[in-house]
Structure 1
Amino acid sequence: MKLLFIRREKIRIYIPLLMTSCLVMSFFSAHAQQKPRIFISTDIGGTDPDDFQSMIHLLMYADRFQIEGLVSTSFQTGRKKDILDMIDLYEKDLPKLKKHQKAFPEPATLRNVCKQGATAWAPYKGFAEKTEGSEWLISCAKKSSDQPLWVLVWGGIEDVAQALHDAPEITKNIRVYWIGGPNKKWGVNAYDYIAANHPDVWMIECNATYRGWFMDAGSPADMTAEAYYPNYIKGRGAMGKDFIKYYKGNIKMGDTPSLAYVMHGNPDQPTGESWGGSFTPITRSSRTIFERNTTTADTVATYGVIEWRFQGPNINVPADSAVFTLSISGQQWPGYYIGDGKYAVRYSPKQVELGEYTTISSIAELNGHAGKYVSTAPWPGKPEPHDYKLGKNWYGDLPDPNLFIDQQQGAKTISKHRKAFLTDWAKRWAWLE
């Protein structure tokens, strides 16, 4: 029997010529229509309400994805219930949505994948105890599938760090798009653990590019952050009614670029064009360790990791005990005893800045340290001896100055798609009229 040889990417298939062309086309059609598998980790309900906006957007496009996890990783007041509340709104709007797309998932299906993740920042070692969310991530990542699990992180990366610690074999099955920046500032210890111990994970570390999403550079007048709600959202469905509660309806949705990345473009090619931005491979991530107080002569990369280490007494405390505090601009980070009379604290500046710090502790030798530092763009900056050495699948914001918006590195690679994205979303809001 003669055979027809067909090649698609790396798949080779031998099909008897007697098979109908319809069967061949059916195979490729099913392959092309495969929905991306996504896992959302969100700090919804925390101090920044933009995650509620992003969750509404996700639910309005839920027909486009296999949603395998919705995990709360908020370290303030947010919890899993905040996700469930949004699904309640989605349920009210579902009949109208289904008139246009039958593939929207049932609310019960979404509720079943809601889990509670970490509720505290990782200690110095970068991980703590397993959570319902980290366990669910491991379970999803281990499913038999011919496509990766896209882990879209909208807040702290603690549950990802925990899952990688508990089941490092999942590294090959996941692809992470992390909205870093301020989340890296707070979750710096979890980041340190991943970069130091799992440099081969597939990672888009988006520290600044995402800001192009809510910067109105070049937006049409009817689609600015302030104008979009009254023009396209107001009066449309339960989710539209709820939207006004967050930033008075002004759109921000700083985490949505992670979802947009797998919506429009080729997610296998981070260097290409995508609604979620374009990125560059990086082989190192900035880390500077100071065993002294710093001054304005000490320059570090914005979004890099700074670690200060101080000498003090030998004390008998459990590992990862926080025994002093680093205070910067009225915010505080815990410092830890790391043994042999050494103490350490990590910080990651989220912007170009001249920073000042002081330490606070009941231990005299740790109390009252003070200093300054200067953080500059672009990231990852000049090489340093303690930089994290990364694998071949780690990507960061493009450093080209022509792609900045103000001080936001790479932001133009997203802002140029803002009109197309918002126009597409407006069509879905019209479904809820």
Structure 2
Amino acid sequence: MYSELFNIEGLVSSPSFGDGNKEEILRMISLYEKDLPKLKKHQKGLLSPDYLRSITKQGRHGAAPYIGYSTATDGSEWIIKCAKKENKQPLWVLVWGGLEDVAQALHDAPEIQNKIRIIWIGGPNKKWSANSYSYIVENFPNLWFIENNASYYGFFSNNDDPDSVKTTDYYDKYIAGAGHMGKDFKNYYDGNVKMGDTPTLLYMMDGNPNDPTRESWGGSFEKFSHSPRVVYNDITTVKDTVAYCTVTEFHLKGPITNIPNGTVCFWMETTLKGKVQKWPGFYMGNGEYAIKYVPKQAELLNYKFTSDIPNFPVQEGKLVVENVWPDKKHTTDYKLGKNWYTDKSDPKLYDGKIQGGKTILKWRNDILMDWAKRWKWLSEK
């Protein structure tokens, strides 16, 4: 609905988990096509549906293996192709979900690292793509990279919210009856405006994107020099503490087996809201096993390692996760270059427990009321 503001080079479906696919993007473009005549009455320069279809690509399904990359996809190859175009501007890569296709593109064409700028909604997505993130941060620390692990929550938090823009009733006030896209919107979160990836676009829409420290609709960020990584060679207890979004590695000893190195062969089981989640662990050879896990929130984490391998030691542990990022330094941290940015750490900018949340929350009224104007266009007879 704001496509006139962007030179869109590609739309890549890259689900590190779930059933997302290219066809879902194409379906959304078809809805946009039906609504486009009404939008064009008010706004010039909106991109054509046929062009958007031509740049829609399928990326990787599922999380990357332990090494962080696998095989090329149409999506990763498209990122490389677009990055290599002659252009005075960098290619901005806005990542909504896992980093698998970005990691694959960088692995296959490392020369593009100086031609791309990445804005990533991390947090839970970092949990799902721990391996691809680790590959990127270890091998490409000089990337230009905004790692938004928490600030984006400010877009759909309802703390101290003006009645006009509560995300829970925004649909009823501004979207209901607004064209084909408006009708479809009700299918997602029952119409709740919970669009945690949208701040990447908002960041590009408002002001100079080359300065992440500025105030913008998409948040304000600060430089950081280390991405926390903690390595445990044993089961942890309540005496062990990490910051949320820390790459937490467990290296375990077990039976020597003849399965290939890099094979998924054990699981880390955790529980979220009463449901068991299983995270894949890998065989590293010579009886060595390893897994990378990223906790997304402050909690007392209870976990269990299980495997079908005979004589694999089933073990249970606990880990305290603190609500602070990136926290103290460790000798095992990933060292970052001068262009890596993340959520501002000033306590005054917390939105409740959300680090940096107020850097977006303060603009939400402006954002949603601006969007409401475009929904109104679609409500016209």
1:285 aligned residue (219, 222, 227)? 227
Find the aligned partners of 2:180 and 2:247 in 1 and give their Cα distance: 42
Determine whether 1:386 maps to 2:327.
Answer: no
Match runs of 1:258-273 below 5 Å: 258-273=200-215
Encode CA deviations 1:322-354: one digit per residue, 9 max, x unaligned. 111111111111111112321101110100010
8 A Cα contact 2:223 2:340, kept in partner:
yes
Match runs of 1:23-422 below 5 Å: 60-74=1-15, 75-329=17-271, 330-422=276-368
8 A Cα contact 1:328 1:356, kept in partner:
yes
TM-aligned CA deviation for residue 315 of structure 1: 2.3
Find the aligned partners of 1:362 and 1:137 in 2 and give their Cα distance: 38
Find the aligned partners of 1:217 and 1:313 in 2 and give their Cα distance: 51
Count of matched residue pairs: 374
- SS in structure 1 opposite 2:35? helix
Find the aligned partners of 1:335 and 1:327 in 2 and give their Cα distance: 10
Encode CA deviations 1:39-61: one digit per residue, 9 max, x unaligned. xxxxxxxxxxxxxxxxxxxxx00
Find the aligned partners of 1:263 and 1:365 in 2 and give their Cα distance: 56
- SS in structure 2 opposite 1:314? coil
TM-score, normalising length from structure 1? 0.85
Which amino acid in 2 is paired with 1:367?
Answer: P
Find the aligned partners of 1:333 and 1:388 in 2 and give their Cα distance: 22
Find the aligned partners of 1:68 and 1:193 in 2 and give their Cα distance: 25
Report % sequence identity.
Answer: 54
Find the aligned partners of 1:242 and 1:252 in 2 and give their Cα distance: 15
TM-aligned CA deviation for residue 111 of structure 1: 0.1
- SS in structure 2 opposite 1:367? coil
8 A Cα contact 2:244 2:298, kept in partner:
yes
Encode CA deviations 1:265-316: one digit per residue, 9 max, x unaligned. 2211111101110111011001000000100000001111110101123322
Find the aligned partners of 1:291 and 1:177 in 2 and give their Cα distance: 33
8 A Cα contact 1:221 1:227, kept in partner:
no
Which amino acid in 1 is paired with 2:170?
Answer: Y
Match of 1:54 in 2: none
Which amino acid in 1 is paired with 2:162?
Answer: P
TM-aligned CA deviation for residue 250 of structure 1: 1.3
Which amino acid in 2 is paired with 1:129?
Answer: T
Consecutive unaligned residues in structure 2, runs of 5 or more: none
8 A Cα contact 1:115 1:133, kept in partner:
yes
Which amino acid in 2 is paired with 1:233?
Answer: I
Which amino acid in 2 is paired with 1:239?
Answer: M
Which amino acid in 1 is paired with 2:367?
Answer: F
Which amino acid in 2 is paired with 1:327?
Answer: E
Higher relative contact order, chain-length normalized (CA < 8 Å, sep 6+): 2
- SS in structure 2 opposite 1:152? strand
8 A Cα contact 2:255 2:312, kept in partner:
no
TM-aligned CA deviation for residue 159 of structure 1: 0.3
Compute the RMSD of aligned alpha carbons: 1.1
Consecutive unaligned residues in structure 1, runs of 5 or more: 1-59
TM-aligned CA deviation for residue 364 of structure 1: 4.3
8 A Cα contact 1:311 1:342, kept in partner:
yes
- SS in structure 2 opposite 1:326? strand
- SS in structure 2 opposite 1:383? coil
Q: Which moved more, 1:300-309 or 1:231-240?
A: 231-240
Q: Structure 1 segments of 4 or more deviating over 4 A?
A: none
Encode CA deviations 1:139-180: one digit per residue, 9 max, x unaligned. 011111111111001111100000000001111111111110
| Aligned CA distance change for structure 1 residues 365 and 374 (closer, same or farther; 3 Å) | farther
Q: Which moved more, 1:366-375 or 1:417-426?
A: 366-375
8 A Cα contact 1:352 1:407, kept in partner:
no
- SS in structure 2 opposite 1:261? helix
Find the aligned partners of 1:96 and 1:270 in 2 and give their Cα distance: 35
Encode CA deviations 1:379-404: one digit per residue, 9 max, x unaligned. 11111110000111111111122211
Find the aligned partners of 2:195 and 2:141 in 1 and give their Cα distance: 29
Match runs of 1:14-29 below 5 Å: none
Q: Which has the larger radius of gyration?
A: 1
